[in-house]
Amino acid sequence: MRANSRLPLKQRVTFGKFQNIDMRVARIVSAPPASGTASPSRLITLDAGHLGTFTSVAQIALIPEEVLVGKKVVICCNLAPREIGGYKSEVLVMGVPHPESSPDRDQAYPLFVDDIAMCGDPIY
């Protein structure tokens, strides 16, 4: 069992506060390795349809780029941008702990979305 799978529940928030989080569907356009980050990461370019293109530095290095490109994922797109290893990460690619992640270097497996969803569609 992974260490982070035993974390307790976080504090409850009201539904109104939850509605402030903007999660959308986006397609991965490219995902080369990101050098200079604390944990192995990829520099993900995402097409979010009418919302435009975003970048994200994501700890999904255990998944080959050719598997990721073209897949639709869930992103959180209204967080403040973060500087990660010299890159600007504009959105957060949502995921779960990767089963092959080492205890000291968390890696994620993205939440993939079926092709029926359109880029830019809201998650609710």
pLDDT digits (tens, 9 = 90+) for 49-94: 999 999 999 999 999 999 999 999 999 999 999 999 999 999 999 9
Per the domain annotation, does 7 fall within a domain? no
When divided into structural domains, the chain yields a total of 1
* Residue 58 belongs to domain with CATH number: 2.40.50.140
In a domain, 123, yes or no: no
C-alpha 117/C-alpha 3 separation (Å) is 33
Whether 8 maps to a domain, the answer reads no
- Evaluate whether residue 95 is within a structural domain: yes
Cα separation, 47 vs 119, in Å, equals: 7
Q: Is residue 1 part of a domain?
A: no
C-alpha to C-alpha distance for 30 and 23, rounded to whole angstroms = 20
Q: Does any domain span residue 47?
A: yes
- Give residue-wise pLDDT tens across range 6-27: 789 999 999 999 999 999 999 9
Range of the domain at 47: 19-113
